[in-house]
Amino acid sequence: MLRITALTFLLLCSTEIARGIQDDDGTAIDNFIARQAKRERGEEYREARKVLAGDLTHDGKPETVVLYTIEGQRGSNLYVQYLAVFVRRKGTLTLLTHTGVGGKSARSVELTAVGSNSILLDTLNYGPKDASCCPSVKGITRYVLSGGTLHEQKRRKLTAGRTI
């Protein structure tokens, strides 16, 4: 009975510790994005944020990748999509790098996977007759982390479900 009680206690404590780490991670991400939005005089479109984890630095430890959108810069109707990579240093989630990856009149992106040392994104690019609201040309792209910087690899267009 003592073993079961001790095991239950340990499980509850580890769950609470994990929840605390997740809360701290969320706070670190929130604070970074809020600072950037303030610099751009815009605000985050929070519902579009996506967070995934995967090993990008070849160290066997997962990095946290965040796709987020800042919109309304200086009262405009523009938006910019960014990718940010966070690493864990001394138990704390810390920004490693970030870069713009899409936005109004550029392209729309959706974070699909992090793995095999790369970040995979589905893209919608603008066709010749597309309005600025509505890119329609499907594609995919990937970013790799090299020297603390994200680098985009060659984009491929999709047609009729095939990669060209």
Question: What is this structure's pTM?
Answer: 0.80
For residue 30, the model assigns a pLDDT of: 97
C-beta separation of 85 from 145 below 8 A = yes
For residue 158, the model assigns a pLDDT of: 57
For residue 24, the model assigns a pLDDT of: 85
For residue 59, the model assigns a pLDDT of: 86
DSSP the chain: -HHHHHHHHHHHHHHHHHHHHHHHHHHHHHHHHHHHHHHHT-EE-GGG-EEEEE--SSSSSPEEEEEEEEE-GGG-S-EEEEEEEEEEETTEEEEEEEEEEEETTTEEEEEEEEETTEEEEEEEEPPTT--TT---EEEEEEEEEETTEEEEPPPEEEETTEE-
Residue numbers in the chain where pLDDT is lower than 50: 5-21, 163-164
Domain boundaries, the chain: 2-163
For residue 147, the model assigns a pLDDT of: 86
For residue 164, the model assigns a pLDDT of: 43
